[in-house]
Amino acid sequence: AREFGLPAVVNVRDAMRLIADGDRLRVDGNAGRVIRIEPARAAAKQ
């Protein structure tokens, strides 16, 4: 990604444990952050 100038987030600690299928996320590759916007259960109700 760096060679192409694309922001990326890697090596997110405990991501497999903290992020569930269906969670809505905001990924900020420039800052290296992943923020859960909405848990999967709330997203499924809409």
At 3-25, the pLDDT tens digits run 998 888 888 889 999 999 999 99
Cβ pair 20, 45 in contact under 8 A: no
Domain extent at residue 6: 1-46
The overall pTM is greater than 0.75: no
Residue 46: pLDDT band (50, 70, 90) is low
Query: Would you place residue 32 in the very low, low, confident or very high pLDDT band (cuts 50, 70, 90)?
Result: confident
Q: CA separation (Å) from 40 to 12, 13, 30?
A: 19, 20, 25
d(CA 7, CA 29): 4
Which of helix, strand or coil describes residue 26?
A: strand
Instruction: Read off the pLDDT band of 42 (50, 70, 90).
Output: low
Domain count for the chain = 1
